[in-house]
Amino acid sequence: MTPRTHTRSRGHERTARRTRGAILARAVDLASIEGLEGLTIGRLASDLGMSKSGLFGHFGSKEGLQLAAVDEAATRFASEVVQPALAKPEGEQRLRALCAGYIDYLERGVFAGGCFFGAASIEFDDRPGPVGDRLRDAIGAWVGYLEEQARVAGAADPKLVAFELQALGQGANSNFRLFGDPKTFARARAAIDAVIDAQIARKPRQASQRRSGRKGKSVRG
């Protein structure tokens, strides 16, 4: 291969990656609106004005397209929610940052039809197969990270904290999509703060107060 041929080859690869990225950006938005099950090569080709054969060359099958869409949505979620929170120290501060980012992500409508994972999890909640497995892996990784940060923060039951925080986010997404109430997200933020305050933030203060009380009694005695 000559240097010129190698340069052209790399240029084609970059173009192909950009094209695939643009296709997937539209695919995840379309899936958030119409459902992941409805995301097919034919439907996406029609929406993009592309040939089916061109899309087939990128993904190979409907399932391949759906799996790629889940991966793209997970990448976007990580960029919008997880990455900014990494600037905070592990534990309570990062947990609060993750939850704040999660609610901001829902409120801003990062996906055209609302949370991609909220919609897809309802479609695939009891379905076996690679697409459902990929969704469970992505959502499980998020909940697991919440649990990890709750554990670092000293929560007595990190699994319960992660469950409650994820449930509040899912509930906020569903409530807003159904009713369009603009106060939904403010309520969700308050509820999340209450969970973290009750399960994590107040425990050290309570323990400190108990220790102070014991010391005070011994001095008085």
pLDDT tens, 163-195? 999 999 999 999 999 999 999 999 999 999 999
Mean pLDDT to the nearest integer, 14-25: 85
Q: From start to end of the chain, where are the E strands?
A: none
Q: What is the pLDDT of residue 174?
A: 93
CA-based angle 55:56:62, to the nearest 5? 100
CA quadruple 101, 185, 109, 38: dihedral sign: positive
**Which of the pair, 87 or 12, is modelled with greater confidence?**
87
- The Cα–Cα gap between 164 and 34 comes to 28
Rounded to 10 degrees, the C-alpha dihedral 139/143/146/148 comes to -110
Tokens matching residue 30: 């379309």
Count of structural domains, the chain = 1
**pLDDT > 90 in the chain, percent:** 72
Within 8 A by CB and 6+ apart from 132, the residues are 124, 125
* Burial of 48 from C-beta contacts in 10 A (0-12 / 13-18 / 19+): middle
Ramachandran region of residue 78, left (φ > 0), alpha (ψ -120 to 50) or beta?
alpha
Query: Which secondary-structure segment (H or E) carries 37?
Result: none
pTM: 0.83
Distance separating the N- and C-terminal Cα atoms of the chain: 90
Which residue range forms the structural domain that includes residue 192? Answer: 3-220
From residue 6, how far is each of 10, 11, 19, 195 by CA, in Å? 6, 9, 20, 57
What pLDDT, in 10s, does the model give residues 22-44? Answer: 999 999 999 999 999 999 999 99
CB 63 within 8 A of CB 51: no
Is the confidence at residue 19, as pLDDT, over 70? Answer: yes
Q: Tokens 């309802």 map to which residue?
A: 122
What CATH number is given to the structural domain containing 215? 1.10.357.10
